[in-house]
Amino acid sequence: MLFQDLIRYGKTKQSLKRDDWLRVFDVPKRWFWHFYAVSVCWNGLLLVFYLCFMFQHRFQPHPWLNKLVDILTGEPTTVSQVPQLSTLMVQLLVWVHSLRRLLECLCVSVFSDAAMHVVQYMFGLGYYIVLGLTVLCSDRLGKGTGTLFSQLDWFHVTGFALFIWASLVQHQSMVLLAKLRTGKSGTVKTLEHRVPVGGWFEVVSCPHYFAELLIYVSLSLVFGGLSLTWWLVVLYVLFNQALAAQLCHDLYISKHESYPKHRKAFIPFVL
């Protein structure tokens, strides 16, 4: 039961018959916006630092960040290092993604009284801090050559296009989920968990989780597919989102006898 309590959140946690002592560690699921608020602030700060590096060609005003990245990578900073377009793009896209999700949590999503474990909450806060540092660490894989524009390659364009498309799919999914609980006027009518329809919900139970995976894949493409560390991040997102999607899918099936049989949980026509 403790394991189930740690891996479930939201509506998939509500069906658990937990002891009272386990509920002591619950925090509201609506606190998801804290994750993205931290990410917007922290990764925005890292983005500003990297822009300073681009224009000043040095990190000298922020030696603590240099030392931290040196420790994480095991490689010293080289003052002649050329800014890399891939690093700049990934930092910018991570910040844009976090800002969009923050605005969706605050202005679009309608949260019920569902909960998540405090361990999940603390992990989420730390995750987006480490994520930004992971981008900077990936910058140590090699040195950019020439101007940023001269570094532009096909994988930058492909990754950026996939990022935009996956973000639109995720936003559409969040809007459709919110409409399940609001009326035409936009006011909240219910907090029940209804069967979502429309968009990519016609083929999978959790297209917003699938879109999250595609967003991280797109960032790996922006890196040219060369960052093994970032592929490990993608692998974590795959398992994390697949587990959450499968739990939601199973819940829908158990609660709704007429739930569409052709829908998959996570990846269209596959899983």
**Which tens digits make up the pLDDT trace of 92-127?**
999 999 999 999 999 998 888 888 989 999 999 999
pLDDT band at 62 (very low <50, low <70, confident <90, very high): low
Residues 97, 111: Cα–Cα separation, whole Å: 20
Q: Which residue has the higher pLDDT, 60 or 259?
A: 259
Say which residue, 48 or 165, is predicted with more confidence. Answer: 165
Question: What share of the chain has pLDDT > 90, as a percent?
Answer: 45
Q: pLDDT per residue over 158-178, tens digit each? A: 999 999 999 999 999 999 999
Q: What is the mean pLDDT of residues 244-260?
A: 90
Indicate the pLDDT class of residue 75, thresholds 50, 70 and 90.
low
Per domain, the residue ranges of the chain are: 1-152, 153-271
Determine the straight-line distance between the first and last CA of the chain, rounded to whole angstroms: 26
Tell me what pLDDT residue 146 has: 66
The per-residue DSSP string of 72-119 comes to HHS----TTPPPPHHHHHHHHHHHHHHHHHHHHHHHT----S-EEEHH
